[in-house]
Amino acid sequence: MNSRPLHRSMVAGLILAVDLLSGCAPTAGTVSPAVPPELKHSWETAFNRGDIESVVALYADDADLVMPGAEPVHGRTAIRAAVADMIKSGVRVKIDTMRNIGSGAVAYVYGPYQVTDAGGHVVEHGRYVETWEKRAAGWQIVVDINTAAPADAGAPAGGASPPDAPAPRQP
C-alpha cells in the first residue's frame, strides 16, 4: 500500500487546520498555552546539548517529521536517525513560539526557527508547525513540519524571527 497520498492528505489537512485556527482567537473550548512551554522548549535545549534520545522522546511512536529538502520520515527510528544526522553536523537551533493553542487532547504550536553552523552563521531559517497529542505518556509530537525561507530572503541577526514577523510569544 502506498502511504504517500495519505501522507499528502494529512499534511494538506494540517495546513488547512492551522490556517483556519491561526486567524481565530482562543475561544472557550481552547487553551493557550496548551503544550507546557518548558516541554516545548525542551526540544531546542536537548538538541543543542546533543541529547538525541531526549529529542526523540518528544515524538509519538507513529510521528511524522517533514524537513526542508528531505523526504518525510515516519516513526521514532527514522526520526532518531534524522535528528542524529543534524546533531552530528554541528548545527544549533533557535526556536520561538508564536502560537501554542489546543483543545482537549490536541494542540498545535507554530513559530519561526533558525539554524546556525558552528561559527554562529545562519544557514537556514523558516517556520514550523507541530501537532501535539496528549496521550498516555503525556504530550507528544505527532506531526512536525518545517519550511525554510528562500536562501535569498536574508536571515535575521540574533534571533529566529524574520524582520516582518510579530514578536514571538512564550505563552
| CA–CA dist 101, 33 (Å, integer) | 6
**Model confidence over 66-108: pLDDT tens digits?**
999 999 999 999 999 999 999 999 999 999 999 999 999 999 9
Query: What are the sequence ranges of the domains in the chain?
Result: 7-19+30-149
| 106: β partners | 103, 133
Architecture field, domain 7-19+30-149: Roll (3.10)
**Model confidence over 18-39: pLDDT tens digits?**
444 444 455 567 888 899 999 9
| CA–CA dist 112, 15 (Å, integer) | 16
